[in-house]
Structure 1
Amino acid sequence: MLWVSKAAAQRRKGFFVFSLAITFILTALALAPSVTPGGLPFLKPLTIDTDPENMLPADAPVRVRHGALKSVFDIYDFVVVGVVNEKHPQGVFNARDLSHVKMLTDTAKSLSYERDGRSAGIIAADIIAPSTVDNIETESLGAVSFSWLMATPPESDGDAARIRDQMLTIPMYKGTMISDDGTALALYYPISDKSISYAVEQDLRALIDTFEATGASYHITGLPVAEDRFGSEMFFQMAVSAPLAMLFVFGLLWLFFGHVRIILISLLAAMASVVCTMALLVISGQTVHIMSSMIPIFIIPIAVLDDIHILSDFYDKYTPGRDRLEIVNEVMADLWRPMWYTTLTTAVGFASLMLTPIPPVQVFGLFVAIGVFVAWFFTVTLLPAYFMSLPDKALADFGALQKSDRAVRDQSWLGRFLRTAGPYAGHHAKAIIVISLVLVVWAGAGITKITVNDNPIKWFERSDQIRVADRIINEQFAGSYMAYLHLSADSGMSDAPFKNPELLRYMAKMSTDLEAESAVIGKISGLDDIVATVHRELFNEAAAYRIPDTQPAVAQTLLMYENSHRPDDIWTFVTPDFQEAILWFQLKSGDNSEMAQVEILVGDYLSRNPPPLALASEWFGLTYINLVWQDKMVSGMLKAFLGSFIVVLILTTLLFRSLSWGVLAMIPLVLTVSLIYGAVGWAGVDYDMPTAVLSSLSLGLAVDYAIHFLTRTREIFRTEQAWEPTLGKMFEAPSRAITRNVIVVGVGFLPLLAANLVPYRTVGILITSILILAGATSLIVLPALISVFQQPLFRRERIPA
């Protein structure tokens, strides 16, 4: 591959034109369908999808089941609005606040949006709000009256209090729509399409801002809102965070090399790599998902890493009187092999993500791998060509030798530090190895404490209004996260089994027991609630809140409920043939770990307490789907990491033509991954999507440093024929290049910590940690291991006496 760099150095104009042309053409092709729709029918316009449901393939059983059962039971996703007033003695149940609530609900009914050529909006008939539900009360003994709970806004606070009291007597509303203390309201606006949730939130907030001040606060949350809003903000975040990180990298490069014109090419090459990769993503018709939006953040450090090795070696070798082409060729001759193999190993690390069963992660892995090769090409061609294009005056006072007092070796603070501290690793090898083993044990214990968990709400910082809303609503009410347990009976076992009093009593007891057993289950609603409520009003006594004793009596309560304003609510709990039913679980947390606990709890309950009729059970709902794809991601990431680890080991073995050196190159990777994920476990940080994906980055970067270190070590040893002088020379130019990489890219991506989206901050923290640890283990542990095992390791490099 060295010939590519030599050709670029000699035909620099041609490579500049080619790089510029390919970048322009790919960008134009990516933008054309969006700028001129229909102009290029064979290309697809940019499409964005932030729905975590699409983490699973469209034909995944859980998604197919989810879609089918939502249709059967007429279930929709909700935008949840919590209304709290801590200043009024009656809370929100005062005339002015309830008037605002009525206005908000009436406006919500009329909201309509266009999505992909079709109309989407709020399902008015299924809104759960005081003005859209019934007050259920006794009309006379044996007769039940259904009337609108709040047909018109209350005229006085006394009227508002009566509405509150009526709501508290209806178990279906308590904890769901009205808080247990009767001071707060929750409104549930079902949406026909999740993609409008953020638009709904914005429109509702615009109306709320016009309300007169009453002391009430409005909190809007829900999984669809979080997912859709993240999609609205992630591109803005990328547009700010990535350039800011690049600017920081630029400043650090300038600090090390001191010449803006020289380091500018490095940033331009990295930017071209990102542009070409993202353009290829769009041209290929791939959707830009949450994962693929992060591609630039991953490509930039990978692209800059090789650039810094070249800049550093050129900086160390350049002298004005020497032929520049000779210097450039020497630099690339030293670096082409480790750069090519680190490109291969890094690409393999990301391409291994295609082994995961999650399409967006597969796309992410594939295109980062492509981006790695694009970055390699731009690095090994544009930098040599650029160096040859610079006038002599641009290189005035450039280079370590020109700045050195003795013009023999680098006298910078970094050079002096490495020259003094570097050999320490070789001279205290046993102590370093023991400390490393202790750290591995510590990390192993931490890894056992890792909690696999994710929650789209937690993609926002704690102070964000959506997190605040989530916290307040789930403190005041039964929960804003919905999960559904589907129960089905064998059609041949019983006629209308879900009219069977014994089965309905079982469902009611199960709901009560589970609510008592789990703090995360706020409330479970089902057909039994409707039956028991109507039965109570038939007899006008609290003791009658129960399931009737006979199936005809159950049928009578349901027939009466069909006289309400919302008779179809029955069919959101049971099918018309009463062969299938669902229980609505309101959860106080959307954490996947909490959903997993609920799933286990319900499974254990059904095993310990068999229902009176044999039932099949299965889960569906957004909260459950998030759990499924998270589980698949974890198992898929582990499979991908192990697969790529083996491939990278094979590649390093082939590179060094030695299994011993190949294994040695993998040790910094093992240490880096162990320490990073051990720290994650000890810190109690959730193992979520960004945390899992970054294992691939750690693989590529840890091996990168190790390959550079070991390749140069063997080359120097062939000349020196002794470990001690080799160790000294290794902590000159080669170690300076690695250390500059650690500082520039590690510290350079700290600006990501300023992002207001948590996944970007996670990426920033972990990239920095991975780079520092990978660099440290390569510069400290590898010399120690070589010192101990130098005899067998250098067997081939030794020249017989």
Structure 2
Amino acid sequence: MPNISPFVLNHPKKVLFCIALVTSLFALSIVNLKYDFTIEQLFAKDKEETEVYFEFQKDFSREDNVFLLVHQIPDKISDNFIDSLSQIVNTLNNSPYFIEIISLVDIYNDYNKKENSYISSRLLNIVSKDSTLGSIWLKLKDDYNTFQKRSKVIDFLKSTTTGFDWEWTYSGIPVVRNTYVEYMIKDNIKFIPPVALILVISLAFLFRHWLYVILPLFTVVITACWILGIMSMTGKGLNVMTYMVPTLLFIIGVSDSIHLLSRLNIYLRKNLDMKESLELSMKDMSVALFLTSLTTAIGFLALLYSSISIVQEFGVFIAAGVFLAYVLTLTFIPSVLILLKDKIHIKVLNRNNTRIKLLKNVSNFVKKKPKQIVLASIFLTLVLSTGTLYLSTGSSLLSDLHPQSDLYIDLKNVEKWFGGILPMEIIVTKEDSVEVTMHDSLVMGHVQEFQEYVSGLFPHSNWISLQKVLKQVLYEISPQSEFPPDQETLDQLYILTQGQTESLINFEETKIRISGMLPDLSSEVLDSIEDSLEIFADSHFPPWLSINVTGTMPVALKTNNYLIVDLFSGFGLAFIFISLVMGLLFLSVRIGLISMLPNLIPIIFAAGYLGFAGIPIRPPIAITFSICLGIAVDDSLHFLFRFWQERKDTSDLRKAVSNTIETTGLAMLTTTIVLVSGFLVITVSTFIPTAQFGIISAITLSVALITDITLLPALLIIFPVKFFKKKNHD
């Protein structure tokens, strides 16, 4: 690798000026950074279900743009109440935001024959099951379906209804989307201050010097600024995955600074001047830090194996941030230190320090009982691996939310009152070669039978279809008539209702939709329901009629299963690549195997914990394994580099192990404390999977430290490795 230390140390002001200039440019671009969340962001690319969904949107219209405003209704509905409700509806109708608005006013007008209203008002659940609550259904125009514009619409809805003390509940997918974004923003506000405080305390405790606290903090702040600037410039916003990027860079990016400053102190305690100490430290650490950055980046880049764009973006931006932190560690920190060298006064290392005593006890234990450590590690791994037998992937869309959150409570209440607001679409398609219309009496008969079956599965949910509309109109014209009627009557009904059924049949008239609003379902329940629907259709429909189940909820839950398979495949690739890096680095297959075993055990430990705790594997948890593997290997690399150097200085294997644990182990202990503390902060997230990601990461990295300072040296003692000698040191 090119040695940049002479330029950095001889031209520190130029280096800092360039960093300041780049940082200013990126900071300016952050102003345009956007937050947004759509359930479609969670869809897998190039999967049949995703293609069917977007084909559905092309044929019909969006189904995730419906607001539901719930309000109290009096025991006896009076004209005054209807007048007040009409006032609200008129205000909403006069706004530019909505395509369609349905409320109790429509039912009242129908009953009193005042004016024509949407047929949907007779098909939707406008009143709750206990008749204590009413609802207003509003369909949002596509032009207003962005975060900023939806926020404006939601504020408008609240201001319009505030003057009416009817205990309003605001629900629907647009509300869910915006609330998710608000939760993401709140999470970042909750995460950054405590993570920064943890860094300050940890760095102050380790180095006992204000400059050694400020410089790593500035390094990760600049790194986060650069990455957010890059995201903004490339048109990528913060979503349900990438909103964690700044926090994770704070947690992960500081480890390079800790290792560099720890090595610098070793040379300064030898009474070398600042410039020489920096030059030697940068020479020693540049390769090691590059390789640890590489292994960490591999863990995140393994997410490219995912079929979901936002997961891929998350991996790429964190991997880029890891390398930017590496570059800044070797440029920004040395430049500042060389300018402020007179401010640095290093104290003699206190050998009675608690951490040093702990590491000395660990080294003595490892030297005395390496075989027992290996056997104990194998036994514990086998025990914990049994937990993997209980792993599951079951999840639902609302399982991301804490049950105490306002959004979760509102959505569950709406489920109880009106049957749910999560969209599911069933598309009935006929073969082009069959010359019958989709409103043909034969088709309508089969669809009616099918829809009765669907309604039996979800008796309290809202379902709208061409068949239901035609049947309702027929009933209003001739209550005694059976459906389907003769074809001539059906043709007349179809012509009569065309203005209100355009979104229920495609332009070519080869597909019709059965549109439902469902409660929150788990992926297992939904799979079972889809299977039953397909079995029913296969046994009751003619061969030329078929169904496809789609909609944001079914596709998102199916994608969850795809993603888990993709991420575990990515973990396997990351494991192979990192093993190859380790083996090629030390030109030894044995060292490659020895170095990876202590990092595989924590992954098995975490998977076992998930199984025993009954925590289902969801995307934020599945990404933990490859990410933690990449981070955990860093300590193994630093340990092996230091051990390599010690072996060149002494032929005593056990002394080399002891010296490595007591020196590099100190920086490993500190970086792990920072990482674990930072990940534990994430456990306060509003989103349950994000909180679980923090817990699993903290557990995995804690176990990785233990195995790196016990099992790894024990294996090096039992299976001695002859290292290929190089001039560079760690």
TM-score, length-scaled by structure 1: 0.80
1:418 and 1:614 mapped to 2: Cα distance? 73
Specify whether residues 534 and 110 from structure 1 end up closer, same or farther in structure 2 by C-alpha distance, changes over 3 A only: closer
1:456 and 1:98 mapped to 2: Cα distance? 36
1:570 aligned onto 2:523: no
Shift of 1:482: 1.1
Matching of residues 302-313 of structure 1 within 5 Å: 302-313=252-263
Counterpart amino acid of residue 637 in structure 1: L
Q: Which residue among 733, 747, 758 is the counterpart of 2:663? A: 733
Specify whether residues 146 and 704 from structure 1 end up closer, same or farther in structure 2 by C-alpha distance, changes over 3 A only: farther
2:504 and 2:458 mapped to 1: Cα distance? 22
Aligned to 1:395: 344
Aligned to 1:41: none
Q: Deviations over 1:726-767 (max 9, x none)?
A: 332222111111111111232144333444455654454344
Counterpart amino acid of residue 192 in structure 1: K
Shift of 1:597: 4.0
Aligned to 2:467: 528
Confirm or deny: 8 A CA contact 1:446 1:682 kept in the other structure.
yes
Report how many residues are paired: 720
1:569 and 1:682 mapped to 2: Cα distance? 53
Specify whether residues 150 and 352 from structure 1 end up closer, same or farther in structure 2 by C-alpha distance, changes over 3 A only: closer
Confirm or deny: 8 A CA contact 1:650 1:662 kept in the other structure.
yes
2:558 and 2:667 mapped to 1: Cα distance? 44
1:618 and 1:305 mapped to 2: Cα distance? 50
Aligned to 2:430: 489
Matching of residues 309-708 of structure 1 within 5 Å: 309-319=259-269, 321-392=271-342, 394-396=343-345, 398-399=346-347, 402-404=348-350, 410-441=351-382, 443-452=384-393, 457-501=398-442, 503-517=443-457, 522=461, 524-537=463-476, 540=479, 547-548=483-484, 550-555=486-491, 558=494, 562=497, 568-575=499-506, 579-589=510-520, 594-607=525-538, 609-612=539-542, 614-708=544-638
Aligned to 1:117: none
Specify whether residues 82 and 435 from structure 1 end up closer, same or farther in structure 2 by C-alpha distance, changes over 3 A only: farther
Shift of 1:582: 1.3
2:234 and 2:438 mapped to 1: Cα distance? 52
Aligned to 1:123: 99
Aligned to 2:728: none
1:95 and 1:752 mapped to 2: Cα distance? 53
Q: What SS does the aligned partner of 2:70 have?
A: strand
Specify whether residues 536 and 277 from structure 1 end up closer, same or farther in structure 2 by C-alpha distance, changes over 3 A only: closer
Aligned to 1:4: 4
Shift of 1:369: 1.9
Shift of 1:435: 4.3
1:533 and 1:15 mapped to 2: Cα distance? 75
Matching of residues 10-409 of structure 1 within 5 Å: 10-28=10-28, 30=29, 46-55=33-42, 65-70=52-57, 72-83=59-70, 85=72, 100-112=84-96, 121-124=97-100, 127-132=101-106, 172-173=123-124, 176-193=125-142, 194-195=145-146, 196-212=149-165, 216-235=166-185, 237-239=187-189, 241-319=191-269, 321-392=271-342, 394-396=343-345, 398-399=346-347, 402-404=348-350
Specify whether residues 598 and 247 from structure 1 end up closer, same or farther in structure 2 by C-alpha distance, changes over 3 A only: same
Greater mean deviation of Cα atoms: 447-456 or 413-422: 447-456
Confirm or deny: 8 A CA contact 1:701 1:774 kept in the other structure.
no
Shift of 1:661: 1.0
2:518 and 2:308 mapped to 1: Cα distance? 26
Specify whether residues 24 and 427 from structure 1 end up closer, same or farther in structure 2 by C-alpha distance, changes over 3 A only: same
Q: What SS does the aligned partner of 1:83 have?
A: strand
Confirm or deny: 8 A CA contact 2:397 2:520 kept in the other structure.
no
2:207 and 2:62 mapped to 1: Cα distance? 61
Specify whether residues 198 and 82 from structure 1 end up closer, same or farther in structure 2 by C-alpha distance, changes over 3 A only: same
Greater mean deviation of Cα atoms: 77-86 or 336-345: 77-86
Shift of 1:419: 1.1
1:742 and 1:264 mapped to 2: Cα distance? 19
Q: What SS does the aligned partner of 1:685 have?
A: coil
Specify whether residues 606 and 330 from structure 1 end up closer, same or farther in structure 2 by C-alpha distance, changes over 3 A only: same
Shift of 1:665: 2.1
Specify whether residues 75 and 25 from structure 1 end up closer, same or farther in structure 2 by C-alpha distance, changes over 3 A only: closer
Aligned to 1:711: 641
1:432 and 1:604 mapped to 2: Cα distance? 56
Unaligned runs of 5+ in 2: 726-730
Counterpart amino acid of residue 551 in structure 1: Q
Shift of 1:67: 4.7
Shift of 1:339: 1.4
Q: What SS does the aligned partner of 1:205 have?
A: helix
Q: Deviations over 1:28-65 (max 9, x none)?
A: 5x36xx7xxxxxxxxxx545542242455898775665
TM-score, length-scaled by structure 2: 0.87
Confirm or deny: 8 A CA contact 2:420 2:519 kept in the other structure.
yes
Confirm or deny: 8 A CA contact 1:454 1:689 kept in the other structure.
no
1:149 and 1:556 mapped to 2: Cα distance? 18
Counterpart amino acid of residue 533 in structure 2: V
Counterpart amino acid of residue 95 in structure 2: L
Specify whether residues 341 and 134 from structure 1 end up closer, same or farther in structure 2 by C-alpha distance, changes over 3 A only: same
Confirm or deny: 8 A CA contact 1:496 1:577 kept in the other structure.
no
Q: What SS does the aligned partner of 1:547 have?
A: coil
Counterpart amino acid of residue 471 in structure 1: K
Specify whether residues 529 and 444 from structure 1 end up closer, same or farther in structure 2 by C-alpha distance, changes over 3 A only: farther
2:688 and 2:152 mapped to 1: Cα distance? 22
Aligned to 1:747: 677
Confirm or deny: 8 A CA contact 2:262 2:667 kept in the other structure.
yes
Q: What SS does the aligned partner of 1:217 have?
A: coil
Percent identity over the alignment?
19
1:790 aligned onto 2:719: yes
1:131 and 1:319 mapped to 2: Cα distance? 82
2:129 and 2:318 mapped to 1: Cα distance? 51
1:130 and 1:744 mapped to 2: Cα distance? 57
Q: Which residue among 701, 707, 726 is the counterpart of 1:771? A: 701
Specify whether residues 435 and 102 from structure 1 end up closer, same or farther in structure 2 by C-alpha distance, changes over 3 A only: farther
Specify whether residues 518 and 265 from structure 1 end up closer, same or farther in structure 2 by C-alpha distance, changes over 3 A only: same
Q: What SS does the aligned partner of 2:710 have?
A: helix
Counterpart amino acid of residue 453 in structure 2: D
1:105 and 1:241 mapped to 2: Cα distance? 41
Shift of 1:428: 4.1
Shift of 1:265: 0.7
2:87 and 2:352 mapped to 1: Cα distance? 74
